[in-house]
Each structure stands twice: as structure tokens, then as C-alpha cells.
Amino acid sequence: MSEEMRLPTEEEERALALLATHLEEKERDVDVEELLRRIQDAPDAREYETDIERLERKLHATPGKIRLLRAAVVLAIAATVFALFRGDPPAEGLVLAREIASALASSPDRTYHGTFRAAHGTSRPLARLLSGREVLLSTRGSSFFIRPGDVGMKLVWGRDGVTDTLWMAVPGSYGLRSAPEGNVARRVELLVEMRSMDLGRILDRLVKLCVVEERQEGEMRILEATPRGGLLARFRPGDRADFTKVILRARGSDLALVRVETHLAIDGEETGTLVWELTGEEKVSDELYTLEGHLLGGETVIEATNVAKTLEALQGIQPGEGK
């Protein structure tokens, strides 16, 4: 038997026992009621509690179980009243957000014009630098690609929803494609999330994590969403609290998003506003949702799953070298 497979020595056993005692003490100090509150307050938990059919099926409706079911109903109602009292999102807003998300997921091609405006007096140099920058976003279901809407930018990037890969290209220079599970993909996903360019993701986050209010203006249905502070780690300052408000305008007839206004923030400080406006609904070539659709030929294409290796590879490639 190798040394590493041997049984613990007496000293090791004693140390492990000390650790066990230490952990038990820590367990006693846990505020488990706080944990319960957090779970019960989460929107997903409330949805489960109000799902009476599932409860009924699980409890098989014996007399004792009916009592339990009744208790569950009372608690579900209480939870809902509690949620409303606390100012949590009205159900209508969430329903509409889900309907818009569903319409977006099965949507035909739509093209949006995006403009970023830095917040007045922002201290963030990058926000000031990017102010006025324009981009074009084309979406089809879970696929999208973003290209420059003005001069000075060459980078095109997007997601191929068919293969679930993220890609980016500098036409004439290089292409980068990352597998869904790769570190590069994760990093780009974060960027996509943070810059609020993936409309499907925005809607997903609104449903899960925001207070959503709905109103109607003529044929337009307006959703205004603000993050619930502190519910989940995603909204802790310095983590991913990347917007303070999102306003969506959806066409009443088919719930197509016609305008998305995202107020971006870093550490609670508003840095600028990104506005997407629907500019076209013409069919876009399938190829343009893939990396290949943006390569001129002869570029270096990096199939990447590792950030370090990718950066290393990219350092050796200057624009134009791939030709």
C-alpha cells in the first residue's frame, strides 16, 4: 500500500477530532433562521409554494395530507401577501417579462441600433471614452452578433445559438471561437452580461432578480425593472451590479422589443445609458451569426477554451498579420 493510502495515525485522528469539534461549534453559531428567510423570500421558492397542483400530487390527498395541503395554501397566500407588502414585483410585470422573453426566443431576425451615452460627470474614464459609440445588434432566437455602427471599430462578435459557441473576429486579422464550457466563453459571457447586449439574458435576469413594473402607453407595453438590492450575490456592489434600471418597450401585437434602455452602473454609480432601438426586421444571412460569416479568408482562427493560452496566442498576432 502506498504511503498516501495508509490509515490515519493517532495524531491525525486526534487532529481530525479537534476539527470536528471546531466545526460543530461553528454550526451552532449559524443563524439558520436567516437562511430560511432567504430561501423563502427568493422568487423561485414562492413560485414553488404556490404550485398547488404539484403539492397535491405529491401528497396523494389523504386526510392528513389534505391538512398539510391546506397549510401550504395558507402559507402560500401569506407569502404572496407578504411579498406584495414588501413591494416585490407585481405578478403582471413578471408575466409580461416572461412573455417578451418567450417571444424573443422564437423571434425572427431583428436588428437594433445601439448607442452608449456616458452619465454626466461620471468619473469613469472608459465610460467617457466610449460615449457616443454606436453598434448594430442582430438577434435571432439565442443567436446574435454585434458589429460597429461607426468608424474606428473592427471587432465583430456574437453567439452562434445553434452550436452555443461565442466568437469574435477582426476581419482580415483573426478569429476566436470558444467552446460553451471554456473559460474564454465564460469571460465573454460576463462581458455580454455586463454590457447588456444580450437581450435574452437581460430578460432572464429581470424575471429572476428585479422588481418589475408594467404600464401601457397606447399600443406599447412598458416594463421598468430595478434590481432587488442584496437578494443574491449578483447584485452586491462590486460584483455584477451592472445596471440600476432597465426600461423595455414592447409592441403590443407581437411583444417584439422595440426599445431597450439600460442604465449601466459600477458600484452603484451610474456610468451611462445604453439604448437599443429596433431598426429592421429583415432576414439576415444564417452565416452572419457564425464566425465564418465574418472572415475574409486567411485569418488565423483560434479555437480557444483557455484564457491564458488564448491571450498568449493573440499577443503574437497584430491586425493584418493573418492575411
Partner 1 sequence: MIEDEATSNGEESGDDDALVLGDAWIRDRGRRVLVYARTLLRDDSEAADAVQEAMLALLQHQERYDLARDGERILFTIVTNRCRNMIRDRSVRERRRIDDPEGELLGEIPDPTVCLPDEVAMGGELADAIEALLDRLPLQQRAVLHLAALGKKREEIASILSIKPEHASVLLYRARRSLARVLPHHGREVRE
Which residues contact partner 1 (rule: CB under 8 A)?
A: 3-6, 8-9, 11-12, 14-20, 22-23, 25-28, 30, 32, 34-36, 38-40, 42, 44-45, 48-49, 54-55, 58, 64, 67-69, 71-72, 75, 124-127, 183, 186-187, 190, 194, 232-233, 236-239, 266-267, 307
Kindly state the smallest distance separating residue 4's Cβ from partner 1, in Å: 4
Rg of the chain on CA atoms, in Å: 25
Q: Which is nearer to partner 1, 113 or 234 (CB)?
A: 234
Q: Which one, 57 or 86, has the nearer CB to partner 1?
A: 57
Nearer to partner 1, 15 or 296 (CB): 15
- The distance of closest approach from Cβ of residue 275 to partner 1 in the complex, given in angstroms and rounded to an integer, is 20
Exposure string over 189-212, b if 16+ CB within 10 A, otherwise e = beebbebbbbbbebbebbbbbbbb
What is the residue type of 32?
V
Geometric angle at alpha carbon 119, from 131 and 147, rounded to 5° = 30
Compute the distance between CA of residue 270 and CA of residue 241 in angstroms, rounded to an integer. 11
Q: Containing H/E element for 104?
A: helix 91-105
CB 292 within 8 A of CB 165: no
Q: How far is CA 269 from the centre of its chain?
A: 20
Q: Running DSSP on this structure, what letter comes out for residue 121?
A: T
Q: Shortest distance, CB of residue 240 to partner 1, whole angstroms?
A: 8
Pick the closer one to partner 1 by CB: 108 or 180: 180
Find the helix or strand (DSSP H, E) in which 248 lies. Answer: strand 243-251
Instruction: Give the nearest distance from C-beta 190 to partner 1 in angstroms.
Output: 7
For partner 1, the closer of residues 140 and 182 by Cβ is 182
d(CA 236, CA 124): 19
Pick between residue 44 and residue 254 the one whose CB is nearest to partner 1.
44
CB of 197 to partner 1, least distance (A): 14
Query: Which neighbouring-strand residues pair with 174?
Result: 170, 300
Instruction: Quote the cell numbers at residue 162.
Output: 445553434
